[in-house]
Every structure is written in structure tokens, then in C-alpha cells.
Chains A and B, each alone.
Chain A
Amino acid sequence: QKEVEQDPGPLSVPEGAIVSLNCTYSNSAFQYFMWYRQYSRKGPELLMYTYSSGNKEDGRFTAQVDKSSKYISLFIRDSQPSDSATYLCAMSVGNTGKLIFGQGTTLQVKP
């Protein structure tokens, strides 16, 4: 079993839709949770960062962490074609700098 599970998709939605991306994990020691966006053949770009459980909002993006269920989510409101990319969840146990990534979900937002 992988430490971090993420549905690779692809996920296709119409412009303006609300997108929900999810990851589950098995290591209860994970404390830091991140979402990255990666465009084709580019390095990942940090979108959201959350420590421990709870919600965090930044513009059209909301990150949720439920440590009791070992489940994290990223919501994108009013999705745009420019949001089309691969979204990777990542986690770490402490401030060690060592991240464990999910497989990534490919999202396509159609105009």
C-alpha cells in the first residue's frame, strides 16, 4: 500500500464548475500537507500549505485536512481553463523537508 493515494483521473469539468481533488494517506505521523500544481514538463508550483487539521482558503482555492480520516482535499471554485494541470498532494512528517507525493490528478477545464 502506498503511503499517499491519489486518483490520477483524468478529471474533466466545464468552466465555472467546482472541482474537488482528494488524497488519502496511511501514515498518521504526517503533519504538513501541501498541494502543488504542475503544468506539463514543468516543475511543481506550491498552491496551498496546511499544518495539521482544518481548512485554509486562498482566493478560489480551499484546502481541507481531516487527520482523523487521513483525508485531504483541495477545492477549486469557479474553475478556469487555465486551471488545467496536474495537481499533486504532498505530505511530510515534520519540518524535515522530505515530502511524500501522491500520484497526481490531471484536471482539464473545458471552456
Chain B
Amino acid sequence: GAVVSQHPSWVICKSGTSVKIECRSLDFQATTMFWYRQFPKQSLMLMATSNEGSKATYEQGVEKDKFLINHASLTLSTLTVTSAHPEDSSFYICSAPDRVLGTEAFFGQGTRLTVV
């Protein structure tokens, strides 16, 4: 199956700093990628849809200025958590749709963000 690589797998940062998370489709092109957040023992919540060459679409309640998404190429989407606070600590996961299914069949490994 297709591979989606996410980096870093974990990061610890100080409050007020920004953190960038990368999501790459390694062997296929992804015009769309999705970013999720998962709190402990909770489900994946869709944050935004990343669209290559255009603005991301954010879900209701997600701050656009805080979670900056850039999808500059067909194989790379980035999520930048700006001015991070401890409540932003979570597990962030990206995914890219399977070209046949058209749904997000392939997920990255996830990034554990801890803000101290």
C-alpha cells in the first residue's frame, strides 16, 4: 500500500514557540491531505483539509491562525502550531486519500506534541 511519512514522531517545545510537522506521501501524489488531532483515549478529530496549491479548509472551532497549514507540493503538507500552549499538547496525525477508495486509507505515524 501507499506510504505516508510524518515527521517528527515526537516533539517537546516551550510555551509560546512554534512547531512544524511534516506529512509526506512517499510513493504517490496527494492533492488533498487531512490533519487530525487525537487526545488520550479519544477519537481522531478532523482539524482541516489541506489542498495542494490553495487554502486549507478548517473544521468549525479550529483556529486558522494558530494551526497554519501549507500544501506547497503534491507530496508535502505541513502543519505549524504557532505560539503553542500546554493545551495544544496532543497527538497529531495526517492522512492522504487512497486514489481508488477516495477516502483516507493511509495515515502517517503521528506526532506526539508536548508543550511545557
Chain A residues engaging chain B, CB cutoff 8 angstroms: 6, 8, 32, 34, 36, 41-46, 49, 88, 92, 95-104
Secondary structure of the A contact surface, majority rule:
loop
Closest residue of chain A to B33 (Cβ to Cβ) is A97
The total of chain B residues at the interface (CB under 8 A) is: 26
Asked if residues B91 and A34 are in contact (CB atoms below 8 Å), the reply is no
User: Contacting chain A: which of B61-69, B74-82, B97-105?
Assistant: B97-105
With A41-B91, A43-B110, A97-B49 in contact, is A104–B43 under 8 Å at CB? yes
Task: Tell me if B60 is interfacial: C-beta within 8 Å of chain A.
Answer: no
B83 to chain A, nearest CB (A): 25
- Chain B's closest residue to A97 (CB) is B97
Q: A42-B109, A43-B6 are in contact. Are A99 and B104 (CB under 8 A)?
A: yes
Say whether, besides A43-B93, A44-B93, A44-B107, A8 and B34 are in contact (CB < 8 Å): no
The answer to whether B103 and A32 touch across the interface, beta carbons within 8 angstroms, is yes
**Closest residue on chain B to residue A34 by CB atoms:** B103
| In the A-B complex, the 4 residue pairs with the closest CB atoms | A95-B102, A43-B107, A101-B43, A103-B43
Residue on B with the closest CB to A43?
A: B107
